[in-house]
Chain A
Amino acid sequence: MALLEVKDLQTSFRTDDGVVKAVSGVSFELDRGRTLGVVGESGSGKSVTFLSVMGLVEKRNSIVSGSVMFDGRELLGASTSELRKIRGSRIGMIFQDPMTSLNPVKRIGWQLEETVLLHNDVTRKEARKRAIDLLKEVEIPRADQRVDDYPHQFSGGMRQRVMIAMALINNPEVVIADEPTTALDVTTQAQILKLMQRLQEEHEMAIVMITHDLGVVAELADDVLVMYGGRVVEQAKVDDLFVKPEMPYTWGLLGSLPRPNVITTRLEQIPGQPPSLLHPPPGCAFHPRCEFVMNECRVELPELRPSTVGENHEFRCHLDEEARARIWARKRAAMMAEDAA
């Protein structure tokens, strides 16, 4: 049985303008020690999906339904105290912006110790020792001194290391990293990703890597979920996805990856805007931006269906097998020609 099994997760928010459906029927599985990459634009529902899994969406004006099984226990509808025991201890979280994700008026040592003390029956002294150990593990120099510093005394990359240390301090089975490198500069991004890879091997944990960067997914993930408009539009093992992406949105994502050998004045982009979740377009949510749009796309939402390449490779698209194969072959040939040029 999978460690984390999400079935038909739906999250809606009541707003003054109406109900916003942020997540509509997301299902996936995550096994121990695996890495799941979750890709999509801003507003595709990827962050909300995992905040819902953790029970961290604002309860007062939201509705969450479906099923979230963690290690055989249902988390949706579980009591707050039960969820609290899991948060920070069995599932750790790393957030996007390290500049604002740490409490500015508390020493980082205090914030790390808090995570230890919330879940373990240890003294503050022991918790402090653990905090210093973790800071050393995430390669913060002079950890035994820096533990008494405040967040503003750290750089962005160093703060994200502190966040990682905080997520790992209780040896969680799952770490959910919500765009952990988006707010960092490129060299720091690479360092943080390498660090996470190393820590994953040492701690044998599963990682959910939420990102809008397929490059990060290619480097770290075993499996990929591509999300669009609150739905999974394609899921696959990472190699299968890069071998045969099955739908236009994924093609667009792959096409907009910067490639080292291609010198262009501007990067490829997917035209148009992500869909409004308040008034989603009828049929396939991607159809207003899709260059291969057909009449039925405007009316009917395509179901997830299996691909011919790879196991558990599923996608949503009305295009038939022959058309998809032809289009992808053409796109890939064009990209390779550019790479070679």
Chain B
Amino acid sequence: MGYFLIRRIFWAIFLFFVATIVTYLIFFVIPSDPAKLIAGRNANAQDVARVARFYHLNIPVWQQYWIFLWNLIHKGSLGTSYITRQSVRWMIGQDAPVTASLVFGGAVFWLSLSIPIGILSALRPRSLMDRASMTFVLIGISAHPVWIGLILSFAIGYKLHLTPIAGYCNFFTGNAGASCSGPIQWAYHMILPWIVFMILFAALYVRLIRANVMETMSEDYVRTARAKGASERRVMIQHVLRNSMLPIVTILGMDIGLALGGAIFTEQIFNLPGLGRQIIQSYSVFDLPVIAGVICFATMAVIVFNFIVDVAYAFLDPRIRLT
């Protein structure tokens, strides 16, 4: 376990460097002059030069990157936005809970739909249930999240007035300047985005769970369990489920890690001030510190969730030892 942890941490650090370096490089390949953008349209050459000096834009890329790293390690700072002059760390602190609400709530939704459907269609392949879920799966896989989001927002939000069309409310009350807050309002505003997530991911997970459960049911040890006199229900719960969920855990962890980096489409459609929308906005104005900050956060999310998956896996499958 100790060796595993050390190796994992080294990997994480390495990945983190790679991700941030790539971000910096891409940004400087794009032909743009951030100093000019920051200084504004009416600034003269002197002002632009002053801005460039202030933001260290006049020194080579690798030195800028070094300053970024130094600030991150030394002060835990991700710098300040070129545009809003706000601390990037503070901005991510504002955005991350929105994305997390979307991803974790969505995961609960898509799992609670796909686990029962996946198991049922595995138990009765080619049944009506199986065929219906396959149709749903096809729609979910083929449809674009923007389309699903807009249709839902139009039909359920605008026409039926059952949910808000878009927008976000904080889970915790007492936020200054917020128009609404509290768990009920939060869930009320999140329900459509969750459903979009559910349709997108449940489609994939139904297929995955169905395939895994069917495969596990043909395992020799399942036949052994039946030969022992176990009921079908017991066979399913004690022998099939845990074994067939092992690969699902891996994929779930990776999906959650990835989605935490920003669910760009869904956040955009429902006007959720999350990381995905933040990164889109920052890209359009070349706000490098914010982009780099969000990417750092996303990298960390992926690394952390991969770690959680590995630990969970070792816990679920005794054959795997973390060494």
Contact = CB atoms under 8 A, between A and B. Distances in A.
A118 B223 contact: no
- Size bracket, chain B contacts: 20 to 34
Interface stretch (B43-51, B163-171, B185-193, B235-243): B235-243
Nearest to A116: B228
Nearest to B224: A101
Interface string B297-323: 000000000000000000011110000
Given A88-B230, A103-B239, A114-B228, 16 more contacts: A56-B226, A81-B231, A84-B230, A86-B229, A95-B223, A103-B225, A104-B221, A105-B316, A106-B238, A106-B239, A115-B229, A118-B228, A118-B230, A150-B318, A152-B318, A166-B224
15 contacts: A81-B231, A84-B231, A87-B228, A87-B229, A88-B230, A95-B224, A102-B221, A103-B225, A104-B318, A105-B317, A105-B318, A106-B239, A114-B225, A150-B318, A163-B224
Interface residues of A, number: 29
Contacts of B231: 80-81, 84
Contacts of A84: 229-231
Contacts of A93: 224, 227
A202 B113 CA distance: 53
A100 B222 CA distance: 10
B228 A100 contact: no
A250 interface: no
A73 interface: no
Interface of B: 219-221, 223-232, 238-239, 242-243, 316-319
Contacts of B230: 84, 88, 114, 118
A292 B49 CA distance: 102
A89 B227 contact: no
A97 B220 contact: yes
Contacts of A152: 318-319
A54 B227 contact: yes
A85 interface: yes
B221 A56 contact: no
Contacts of B232: 80
Given A100-B219, A101-B220, A103-B221, A56 B319 contact: no
A118 B239 CA distance: 14
A107 to B, nearest CB: 8
Nearest to A98: B220
A119 interface: yes
B243 A103 contact: yes
Contacts of A103: 221, 224-225, 239, 243
A196 B221 CA distance: 21
B229 A100 contact: no
Contacts of B225: 103, 114
A166 B221 CA distance: 12
Contacts of B318: 104-105, 150, 152
Given A56-B223, A100-B219, A166 B228 contact: yes
Contacts of A56: 223, 226-227
A166 B223 CA distance: 13
A88 B319 contact: no
A150 B317 CA distance: 10
